[in-house]
Structure 1
Amino acid sequence: MGQSMVEHAFADPALLAVQISRRLPLGARMLMGGVLESASAALPSVAALGAVMAGDMLNARRLVGEVLEAGRPSRLAGEIAILLNRTDLVGDTAPARTRARAAWSRGDLEGALQILRDACLNGDGYALLLRSELDLLRTGRRLPLAAGLSLPDRSSTNAKPAPFEGLRVLHVVTNSLPHTQSGYTLRTHRILRALTDAGVRSMALTRTGYPVMVGKVGAAREDSVDGINYRRTLPLFLARTPEQRLLQQVHEALAVVREFRPDIIHTTTDYRNALVGQAVARATGLPWILEARGLMEKTWVASQFSESARAEAKRSQRARLIAAREGELARSADAVVTLSRTMAGEFVARGVEPGAITIIPNGVDAELLERHLSPAEARRSVALDRSDAFVVGAVSALVDYEGFDTLLRAAAEIVHGRCGRPELWEKLVVVLAGDGTAAPGLSSLARSLGISDRVVLPGRVPRRSARDWVQALDAVVVPRRDVEVARFVTPQKPVEALALGRPVIISDLPALRETITAEDGTSCGIVVPPDDHVALAGAIARLHDDPGMTVGLVEAGRCLAAERTWPSLVRRYSDAYARAMTRRDERRTG
């Protein structure tokens, strides 16, 4: 943990400070940020950091701009500019490491290394880290198996395809419950539980240093959650470079192979996990599959500050290399799993054979279909004192591309009497349960729109009460922005809301439409143009005014969700596993 903190403090002090602040409740975080922000006259760089913590991004950009455009040397101001994706503010007078970080952040990977070489910092620890990151993205690069690494005897692993029941699967994942609660970790856990119920034995291995690197200092080497075992890669000393850390994970994975004797390696997003799976498969002869749950470069592009910055990021070396690398690794896997037809089409465009791809959308626990709490009952359960309100919102990570600012603007349109009936003006409340980088900004926006008394931000909620928070809503809204990542990657929120008997309003984007469309083409939700708060306000008003619409949507939604329970979906993994084993055997004999 200490080593990790030192590395972060050296590489990105601004981000480290913000990450520490994010562990505080939203109110305390904004209070701390406000205190720092008030120091603007004497310490404008510190004030800018405070503005970031408080969610006042406009003021943060103004303060940083004033410092850097005046030519005043400030590493902290440069780092905050990078954090704000305003790398254009980092000028030639900034320290070399800051300029290198700015270049790397906008996707100019070779340029970042050239800056360090020009400053005679080629042997610097940061340069070593960047070179390793870049090497991992090189086409054809494989993880070298370390000298002296003790490999399992291939004859000790199952050489023949086994039936689905009785299989053993090693899952290589980034993070997991109980230390991280996200759509990624919840999907992982639900898949592993459903596989277990179907007779498959599973073990999951997380990335090197996790969860100590996210602040869980006393973490055990293994956690058991609902009977699912999560193994940690926690070496005594954390390797210096990304490649060396992946090799530490390979070493741990091979130890698990010797103990657990899996039949197949199942890796999930992103390319780093795929590299580990590929190396373990190469060392053991086991087949491996890649489950692509996202498109890493599109998520990164979506995080950029402006449309012009996103366009630049999309053309960057970083975006090109990541897309090419993930396409290459998907082609080399014995089988590929994706979440949607949209994502499958993207991987076909990257050269993956259509027959190698299995589509397994986000699913739901069957027990959700049996939960019939009314909004009033659910609100009592979560102590939400809004019994007579018409409540809309979501349980979600609060990040920019989710588009919850559009929801707040739609709410303001209604509350201020510009849309809907007068009774809705009085009754509307927005609940956004979750946390993330956009949380402070959403709180500030609610105040500026004059609706802060109508917006509830309870922060991150416990996993077991998240379903009650969903059922406390009269409608679940998924107003994602029209950015590439939202067009391709399907969230878990809509289908869970449908299972819980809540109508869903979504942005009209390809991946989102798939989440509410039944096999026969029937739509089970309301679709509105993305980034259009007036249209969203109108949809909320229609739903409020027409109880019959709600009844119809709820019935159709539960029918769709019944087709997507994990016990039914998980059987599709048998096809993917069988395909991987067959392809492995074909490669051996080919």
Structure 2
Amino acid sequence: MLPGVATLGVVKCETEREESVAASALSAAARTARNARLLGASVVQHLIDDPALFVMQVSRRLPLRMRVSVGRSLFHLGSRLHGGAGVAALGAVMAGENGRAESQLTGHPAPGSRLRSEVAVLLGRPDLVPSSAPAATRARAAWSLGDLEGAVQLLDAAGSGTTTQARRLRSELAMLTPGFRLAKRRQSGAAPVPGPEERVRVLHLLTNSLPHTQSGYSLRTHNILIGLRDRGIDSVALTRTGYPVMVGKPLCADVDVVDGIEYRRTLPTRLGMTPTERLEQEVDEALRIVREFRPHVLHATTDYRNALVAQAVSAATGIPWIFEVRGLMEQTWIASHPSEELRRRAARSEKVQRIVATEGDLVRTASSVVTLSRTMADVLVRRGVPADRIVLVPNGIDTALLRETMTPRQARAHVAADLPADTLAVGAVSALVDYEGFDTLLHAAAQIIHDDSLPRQVRDRLHVVLVGDGSAAPALAESARELGLADRILMPGRVPRSEARLWVQALDLVVVPRRDLDVSRTVTPQKPVEAMALGRPVVVSDLPALRETVTDAAGRVHGTLVPPDDPRALAEAVAEHLVGGAPPEGERAAARRAAQERTWPVLMARYELAYCGAVQKSFEENHDGE
């Protein structure tokens, strides 16, 4: 700090200090009022457009047991009401009893009931929405099937083409058109080029972040930002418009600092009505940061909406941008459908074609492309990205994991007091979504417990531990009950970031039983490498992306591979591990060495290479012929 500034701080009079406190309080009050307006507008819009989805999103904030209890109460209430099939079906979905929900939708009258039709869409059964349903709901059903133009046409035909819903759908349709660009901003001068002794500065454009969202996406981001800082690269991160207010955090600040990393928010006084308007609000916020921070590189992270923002900021400033593809959006969307028939239909849909074309256009436009796995890189090459412009940065781990020596029993004493001391715990710390395949693990556990050929000390001690939350959590709890595992499963829900490592250490065996879907074949999870670093054996589905995570640079596999979606094969692999006891120290040491190849400090050099390449390419293009 400059001496003069320090002196002023010392001699500031009491009146000035009081005025400063008053101004800060006013600022906080204004911020809270603004956030309340944003959240209120969002709630009203959701209640108008998709009330069933809104109820589900609110319910996911509840602890799992409470969510299931409330859902069952709604089911019983709706079952007693005349025309209450929609209420009953919604309650059944909340409780994870999707079969009951479908029975309500198909076995009761009132085919034109809006709530009943909205629940059908929520359940992933838009085919159950009748032609007598409101146009808004029929449009949502068409959109959920990937018929984007058809959804807009339904609203137009019903005389609803000027509604907020129609405007939003048209906006999304426009953005999912190759060659779409956000509104041009005035060029703001030449992009800065880092000098020989200057630290590189990067502006990151994100969907969400810590401390408000704890997920694989946000944790990877945070580890990267810490790793870049430690390597001498300065970063500021900006999240999407409305976040985190729109996910139920009205008391949030405009800036969060986590472990010294600065996360800024795009929180305008009024939220744009369409997705395009919201992206343009984020562009304006990003340009304000550019003027202050003067980044050398823009770093957009999945999905295409962040890339559109980076592209617009780059066009206005000349700053090069890179696109980090952490997943293929269309694959995740296809996997969200509940049946193979609907997944096949989704894969052929207009939505998938538009996403593939749009993201393909954007990755070809970026100065450089980063992705997580070789399988995903191969997809990008097939979409026209030159292989030499792709930088592979797999999921990394914190170096501190390599130094942990706690046994499962010791770790369980810290986090799982309600598990017996001699438990054999298998499971994972993970998002609980359908494609993770944990239902396969539950069926495998049931087979082990009832297999008389296995030692009783294994069958009696086996417990399944699933740490985390997600859309599949209620159904997993219900499946465990049906399989007779109610007293053999522990689902503590989301845990603080500081506890997640302890929960992995509390497991005797980490299992990643992902289903055989395109999203599982290309996206590499972080769970296996973390388990290897902590000395825990792993069993994973034999899919390309998962195989890649447990294979070291020399081609050695440090885990057990099992066919996906095969409870019997998984049961045999899990039983073999549990009967054999903890793996020998030599195996654990080899797995730790393989994990050491993927520590964040090791991987950060690849980002530096991508940034320097993007800056050099931009400089050459802007000074061609000079």
TM-score normalised per structure 2: 0.91
The residue that corresponds to 1:14 in the other structure is: 52
1:23 and 2:61 correspond = yes
Matches within 5 A, 1:179-578: 179-384=212-417, 385-417=419-451, 420-547=454-581, 549=583, 551-578=585-612
1:100 and 2:135 correspond = no
Deviation at 1:139, TM superposition (A): 1.0
Aligned length: 582
**1-side partners of 2:315 and 2:168: how far apart?**
25
**1-side partners of 2:428 and 2:439: how far apart?**
13
**1-side partners of 2:583 and 2:259: how far apart?**
38
**Structure 1: which amino acid aligns with 2:549?**
T
Q: Is the 8 A contact 2:187 2:315 kept in 1?
A: no
* Cα 1:555/1:547, change in 2 over 3 Å: farther
Please state whether the residue corresponding to 1:283 is helix, strand or coil.
helix
The residue that corresponds to 1:52 in the other structure is: 93
Q: Is the 8 A contact 2:399 2:600 kept in 1?
A: yes
Q: Is the 8 A contact 1:164 1:200 kept in 2?
A: no
**Structure 1: which amino acid aligns with 2:280?**
L
**Structure 1: which amino acid aligns with 2:361?**
E
Deviation at 1:218, TM superposition (A): 1.2
Deviation at 1:418, TM superposition (A): 5.5
The residue that corresponds to 1:122 in the other structure is: 161
Deviation at 1:434, TM superposition (A): 0.4
**2-side partners of 1:162 and 1:413: how far apart?**
63
**Structure 1: which amino acid aligns with 2:62?**
L
Please state whether the residue corresponding to 1:456 is helix, strand or coil.
strand
The residue that corresponds to 1:143 in the other structure is: 182
**Structure 1: which amino acid aligns with 2:302?**
T
Please state whether the residue corresponding to 2:178 is helix, strand or coil.
coil
Moved over 3 A (4+): 160-165, 547-553
Deviation at 1:152, TM superposition (A): 6.9
**1-side partners of 2:301 and 2:517: how far apart?**
23
Deviation at 1:518, TM superposition (A): 0.2
Q: Is the 8 A contact 1:152 1:257 kept in 2?
A: no
Q: Unpaired segments of 5 or more residues in structure 2?
A: 1-38
Question: What RMSD in Å do the two structures reach over aligned CA positions?
Answer: 1.4
**1-side partners of 2:290 and 2:580: how far apart?**
57
Q: Is the 8 A contact 2:188 2:316 kept in 1?
A: no
**2-side partners of 1:193 and 1:489: how far apart?**
23
Q: Is the 8 A contact 1:107 1:317 kept in 2?
A: yes
What per-residue deviation string (whole Å, max 9, x for no partner) do you get for residues 513-569 of structure 1? Answer: 111000100001010000001111101111112236454442221011111110010
Deviation at 1:162, TM superposition (A): 5.1
Please state whether the residue corresponding to 2:616 is helix, strand or coil.
helix
Q: Unpaired segments of 5 or more residues in structure 1?
A: none
* Cα 1:573/1:163, change in 2 over 3 Å: farther
1:134 and 2:173 correspond = yes
Deviation at 1:416, TM superposition (A): 1.2
Deviation at 1:383, TM superposition (A): 3.3
Q: Is the 8 A contact 1:413 1:419 kept in 2?
A: no
Please state whether the residue corresponding to 2:498 is helix, strand or coil.
helix
Deviation at 1:73, TM superposition (A): 1.6
Q: Is the 8 A contact 1:47 1:63 kept in 2?
A: yes
Q: Is the 8 A contact 1:395 1:493 kept in 2?
A: yes
**2-side partners of 1:65 and 1:318: how far apart?**
27
Deviation at 1:165, TM superposition (A): 6.8
**2-side partners of 1:111 and 1:269: how far apart?**
27
Deviation at 1:188, TM superposition (A): 0.2
Deviation at 1:501, TM superposition (A): 1.2
Please state whether the residue corresponding to 1:235 is helix, strand or coil.
coil
Please state whether the residue corresponding to 1:178 is helix, strand or coil.
coil
**1-side partners of 2:413 and 2:582: how far apart?**
25
Q: Is the 8 A contact 1:71 1:93 kept in 2?
A: no
Deviation at 1:588, TM superposition (A): 2.6
**Structure 1: which amino acid aligns with 2:519?**
V
Q: Is the 8 A contact 1:476 1:503 kept in 2?
A: yes
**2-side partners of 1:129 and 1:419: how far apart?**
59
**2-side partners of 1:8 and 1:308: how far apart?**
29
Please state whether the residue corresponding to 2:460 is helix, strand or coil.
helix
**2-side partners of 1:30 and 1:548: how far apart?**
36
**Structure 1: which amino acid aligns with 2:150?**
G
**1-side partners of 2:473 and 2:455: how far apart?**
29
**1-side partners of 2:197 and 2:562: how far apart?**
41
**1-side partners of 2:495 and 2:167: how far apart?**
39
**Structure 1: which amino acid aligns with 2:574?**
I
Deviation at 1:580, TM superposition (A): 1.1
**2-side partners of 1:239 and 1:392: how far apart?**
46
Please state whether the residue corresponding to 2:235 is helix, strand or coil.
strand
**2-side partners of 1:138 and 1:552: how far apart?**
54
Worse-matched range after superposition: 189-198 or 417-426: 417-426
Q: Is the 8 A contact 2:396 2:603 kept in 1?
A: yes
Deviation at 1:421, TM superposition (A): 2.5
